[in-house]
Amino acid sequence: MIRWVSAGAALAAAAVFASAALGADVSLRGAGWSASRVGPESEATATAALWLRERLALTPSLDLGGEAYVVARAPGQRGDHATFELREAYAAYFGEHFDLTVGRQLIVWGRADRIKPTDLASSRDFTSLVTEDDDQKRGVGAVKLGVPVGDVVLMAYAMPEFRAHAVAPLPPLPGLSVRRASPHGAVADHAVRLERTGGRIDWSLTYFGGHDKMPMLSATPVSLAQGVIEERFPKLRMFGGDIAASVGDYGLRAELAHVVFDDLAACAAPVCGGRTSVVVGVDRQFPDDLYVNLQAVLAAGGTERAPPSLLPELFVRNGVLSNRLTASEGGLSWSVIRQWNNQTFRAEFSGVSVFGRSGTLMQARLAYKLTDDIRLTLGGDLYRGKRAGVLGARRDESGVFLEIRHGY
């Protein structure tokens, strides 16, 4: 406990120094959590975090940018520890004929709300204790080239740095350990994107070729003889697009992605093969600071497979993590946000419900601004569904939190 309190004091001191000496945007956050998002062993904990963000304009056409954070977690059954994340660190050139960004950067695709089937480039940390889902995103080392072509922009990406999603660890299996089989070192992930923004209708078309960032675990007689479960990240290709438009008081949006594995044999999930995901939504900003968003979600395609004889629980886990449990599924997502008193008080109720075995997630957030810089947030996440479902598998992560935040 003494070490954890000392870490919190050190973060506060670092925040003062960064703000005064570096001029960086600073966010200092402290929170208590009833669940720690690590699967069945989830436990109550507390966190103290320092986030730093800066963007320096060296010349009218050259910027340096970056964001990083460090989080200290209170002692528990898994021990106390601190985590450092360099989210972004890049140089960006903005020219008359092209734009170029080099370094670790957040690459976010898709115009649907939260559920974005085309958004395959950035990594996420699903175990991080954050109150906003977007804070789970992590940058990847990449080179992005943008060239204007009329009223659209053609973008090309090379992403040599591979960063897998961080997920809850596999429950211990006696005599077995997990070993990453691929990829190692630099990768050849790449993408091409054509995008139009700023008009009555915004749209984009995207191609991505690279590795799936969600791990797939497999066991073969050879690997089991060595006491090893192999962790793989299969290569895939994605063809997708999105569109958004305003019609009167309503916003309309749609997003579609078709994903295929380069090597079908590398897929170790209940459903493999080509899969198409579609999100169609409508939103409206009502008077008195009320916002409502409703979306329909559909995924279909692929061939269902029988579970293997060796460790079939890995087969199910792969389906849960990659959302490949059934050949087709549909559901709804929603978000209702209301603000009062000149946006001093904010309430949000959101969630997603997938029909069948996947389950339901409901989230609630209540935020109050104590001052312009200090915000208090009370919230909770509730997972429901079958244990062998995408959302039901996270039932032990249901819980509430209370966070106080200074800064962004």
The pLDDT value recorded for residue 173 is: 84
**Digit-coded pLDDT (tens) for 340-389:** 999 999 999 999 999 877 799 999 999 999 999 999 999 999 999 988 88
pLDDT over 80 at 177, yes or no: yes
**Which tens digit of pLDDT belongs to each residue from 71-84?**
999 876 555 578 99
Name the more confident of 380 and 313.
380
pLDDT for the residue numbered 22 = 57
Are the beta carbons of 178 and 218 closer than 8 angstroms? Answer: no
Side-chain-facing half-sphere of 74: CA atoms under 13 Å: 16
C-alpha span between 249 and 251 (Å, rounded) = 7
% of the chain beyond a pLDDT of 70:
93
Query: What per-residue confidence (pLDDT) applies to 266?
Result: 77
Q: What per-residue confidence (pLDDT) applies to 110? A: 97
Lowest mean pLDDT among 84-93, 317-326, 398-407: 317-326
Closest CA to 335 of 394, 398, 282: 282
Q: How many CB atoms lie within 10 A of CB 151?
A: 9
* pLDDT at position 238: 97
Range with top average pLDDT, 15-19, 224-228, 398-402 = 398-402
Q: CB of 101 within 8 A of CB of 88?
A: no
More confident call, 200 vs 66: 66
pLDDT of 17 reads 47
Domains recognised in the chain with CATH numbers:
2-407 (2.40.160.10)
Q: Provide mean pLDDT across the span 234-250.
A: 95
Q: How far apart are CA 361 and CA 126, in angstroms?
A: 14
In this model, does residue 40 exceed pLDDT 70? no
